[in-house]
Each structure stands twice: as C-alpha cells, then as structure tokens.
Structure 1
Amino acid sequence: MTAEMLAHDDELAIRFCGLSFATPLVLLSGCVGFAEEYTRVAGFSHRQTGAVCLKGTTGQARLGNPAHRICETPMGMLNAIGLQNPGVDYVVKHILPTLDFSETRFIANVSGSTVEEYVEVTQRFEDSPIDAIEINISCPNVKQGGVAFGNDPAMAARVVAACRAVTQKPLITKLSPNQTDIAHSAHCCIEAGTDGLSVMNTLMGMAIDAETRRPVLGNNQGGLSGPAIKPVALLKVHQVYQVAKRHNIPIIGQGGVSNARDALEFLIAGASAVGIGTALFYDPLICAKINDGIRDYLTRHQLRHVSELTGSLTLNSPARPPVSCGA
C-alpha cells in the first residue's frame, strides 16, 4: 500500500501541497524524534496521522544545548534542545530507509545557521524519498549577529527562495510568532515560493530558579509550547489565513492542541491541517481520539468533509468603532 492509497474516500482525508494526507493531523518536528520513538508504544499507529515532521536536521551533527533543556511551566513547557541531530547525511543514509512510507507522509525539517546551510540540507533531501520539506526559519543567522531568520521577513524570504531553487519537493515554511507582523512575513514567503505554511513555532520564554537566581534552562531561554500558547496561535493562524487564502496556500495550524475541540478551532481559524506536539508527551495515543472527535463533530453539524471547516470563522461585528491610540 502506498501513501497515495492511504488517503481514501474518507471525511478526514485531505490534500496538502499536492500530497494526499489520510487525516488532517501532523506530528510536529521535535516531538517525535525521527519517527521511531512512538512506534514502541502499544496501540500507536502512524496511520492515524496525515504526516510526520522529522526532527530538525542540519548540515553537520550537533550535540545541542547544555542541560537543563526542558522545563515545565503552567499549562506548558519550555524547551531549548538546540537542534541536537546526527546531520543530514546520516539521516538520509541510515534513518530514512527504516521508515515505512506506506503508513503516512514524512516531512523533513531543515534547519541551519546560514542560508548556505539551508540550501545544503535541502539539496540532500531532494535526492531522498522524503515527501516534503519544512523550513525552520526560527534558527539564528550567525552572519547577522544571531538574529533569527524568521524574525526578519526579507531574510525569511531569502531562505525560502534559496531552498526553492534547489528542490522540486513541496516546501512548507514554519513561521515564528516572535515578530512584528506574521502576515507580512507569510506574504514574503509565499512570494518567494513556499507551497505551504506552518503556523506557529514556539514563543520565546524564560524560567527562573528564585533560590539560585539563575535561569532554569542552560540556554537561558527556550521555546514555550503547550496549551498556554493556544490563544496566540489561533490568532496567528487567522491572520496568516487572510493572506494565504488569496494564493491557495494551505496552513498547518499548531500550538497547544490537546483534544478534538482544539483541533477544530484551528481548522475554523484557517488551517487545513493541525499539528500535534506537546500533547504527545502525556498521551501518545491522542491522534485516534482527535480523529474520532472531528468525525463526531462533522456528523453533528451535518458536514460531509473536514475541509468545509477551514476558514469558516465568522467574526463578530464590533459594537462601536475602535478607539484610536491617540484618543
């Protein structure tokens, strides 16, 4: 059975960037390693997903950041792993051959510290069986003093354009919320050639140990994920959708999804697919439950297909004109 056959005539099967997804659920990069960890859990199946994003991969192997790398927070989690990975050559030669491409789609996550490194890794995945490539533009640009690529729309577009030039595979750009105008950044990435958008990456945060008066994380700061960021993520998906829909660019909406209602909210806000991340750490079998919940919702609302939900949000009319900042 091929991945194409997985996307049968089902109310949850979707098309994303030209690929058939059996369900709208996508396992997020950094939460499932290189797709082998959760296969050891009884009852887990990649067939409950539309796609799996592999761990962030760089040109050369990286050891990652010093401990501590993880810190629980109220309704969330901070992480500062630091892109620990064995390097793209090892991934292509030794990991991809072990994946069962008949079960789901597999998406590579490309990371780097320079535009040249993004291009190098993308080129390597172009000559591999990977189904699509996600560009992680939240990485720091070492040539620009450590400023994250994703926090500068022009810089983000440059990375997308450079990767677009060396691959025919679908490109999905993962947008950072840590910027002034995420919709403008989305527009720039679309113009540069991205096929899809992933909204959003983690918010930057810090945890402090009051007794030692030092940051808990060895990297001082990290990315905040989990239910705490869902309201921000929903707004970012809605904002990006206003731009993306004009170009028929699909969105993977993500940020704090922990049940079917959360997933439905992201679809309604404008997502075509929904990313599952932190919730997998405490419920590895959550995808089956979310799929069942979405099916139940479709039945109750007499909808034939999950795609009918995408962008179906109706905004409230303001009771009075907004007050200007100068008032």
Structure 2
Amino acid sequence: MTTQPLPEHGGFSDIRRGDWIDRLVPSAARPYLRLARLDRPIGTWLLLFPCWWSAALAAESWPDPWLMLLFAVGAVVMRGAGCTVNDILDRKFDAMVERTRTRPIPSGQVSVRQALVFLAFQLLVGLVILLQFNLTAVALGVLSLLLVFTYPLMKRITWWPQAFLGLTFNWGALMGWAVVRDGLDWPALALYAAGIVWTLGYDTIYAHQDKEDDARIGVKSTALRLGEQSKIWIYGFYTLTWAGISVAGLLAGLGPAFQAVLTLAGLHLAWQVATWIPDDQSDCLAKFRSNRWFGWIVLAAIVAGRVV
C-alpha cells in the first residue's frame, strides 16, 4: 500500500509533527496509525473507562487483571475501527475543516479502499478479543456495531450527535457487567445512562473547536445548538453524570469509601466547566483531554468501594 507524505499545514490541526509515530514508525505505516488515532489516545481512554468501571462494579473484590487487559486492547482496536469508519464517511467534510483536513484520508495519504482493508483487519482483531467473553457479552458486542457504523452519520441528521456518541462510547458499561455477571442489571444500566450524559458534556466541549467550520459547511452539533448556553447545559450534564454514577454504586452495594472518592470526581467536573474558555480551541482540547483524570478517579472510587 502506497502513501503520500503529510502535507504542510500551518493552522490548527489535530495532527502533530515530530511525535512518537514520526520518530519510531516506518513512513508507510504512519498514516494507518494516525487513522486509528494511536497518536491521540484520549478517545481510547474515554471508550475504555466505562468498561473498566463496569467490570470493577460487578466484581466481588479487586477487578480481574486479565479481563481489564482484554478490555484495554479491545478499546484500542475498536476505537481505531470507529475512527476509520468516521473518516471514510466524513472525508469530504474533513477536507473543509481546518482541524481535520490533514487527516490521512482527506489529505490523500490513504485511499478509501486502503482504509476499508484496514478497517476489516481491525474488526477481525476485535472479534478475536470479543470471543474470549461469554455469549451474553458476545451478543452485546455484535449489537454495538450498529452504533459504531451509524454514529458518524448523525451530525448530518440531528443537532445532538453527541448523544449518539454517548450511546456508542459507553456501551462498555453494559459489556463489563455482562462479562463478569453473564447478564445485565440495574447498576450497569445506571452506569450506562451516566456515561451518556458524561459524553454529552465532554464532547460538547470538544465540538466547540470546530463550531465556525461546522456552521459554514452545514454540520450539526450540540456546540452549535446550545451556543452561549453551553456552559449551563454542561453543568447539568455533569451533575447528572455524578448522580448517575452515585446511583450505580449504591445499587451495586459499594461501601462508603466509594462516595468519598467520587466527590473528588465531581470537583474535577466542576473545575472543567468553571475554567473552560469556549472560544479557545486549545483550551477546549485541554479540558476535553482532562476527562481521562475523571475516569481514573471514578475507577479508584469504585475499587475503593469494593475493597476498603
């Protein structure tokens, strides 16, 4: 498979030169790693944490390390597959947006045909990982593909594509519980609902990076829909996130250490919104990325509630 070099670009781009991919990876493979977003792992963390939260919530004590590792590898692969689908479907839009026009497909480094072959490879690896789980989890994993393949289309249809991203990215809240308990129950459903509103918050912040380009080319988002009221709405989304996770822990019978540590997670969300500058692209990205720390704090809260 032949590729073209990364074009020169002086504006605000989500491709960074001189990173570990440029330093360590052969030039022919670089566009594929960037297509899978291996250079920007925050999306993998956001996909992974609901899996880890749920698996820890369902455990009797410490979560199973092997299970956590399988979820981690699966998150890398399936996040990459989702990004590949997204970039294939959005290639014309991406070419018109400053932040995304240097991505591998719109910049011509990877053809659509090459991207489809790469997608098939990622889905095959994902299937191998999925088959390590029980039948309930396998069925849920197959169902998740409906969301993976339809989410990228939602920005053409609704002002709330972030809600559909929430449905997709938090599917692991169901998967983790199903793998441990071989079924679903109210704690997993509460955690899934909390994850959806969490995504509505952080991805609205993320979408504010592109609001001018999105308005120009006709792409919809909660950033455009909520506009100057975004901060108020995100406070609401994050309040529901904290409350939903609290309910999930209560339903799962976690101990008092859970709520104590979870308070720190709530403070982190409050800090995000209070200090966020909606018209600063760099600050939008920084606040979006800070949700990785929220994920770790929630995981610590759940584990503490089980083992302390």
Question: Normalising by the residue count of structure 1, what TM-score does the alignment of the two structures yield?
Answer: 0.30
From the two aligned structures, give the one with the greater helix fraction.
2
Question: Normalising by the residue count of structure 2, what TM-score does the alignment of the two structures yield?
Answer: 0.31
From the two aligned structures, give the one with the greater strand fraction.
1
Larger relative CO (CA 8 A, sep 6+): 1 or 2? Answer: 2
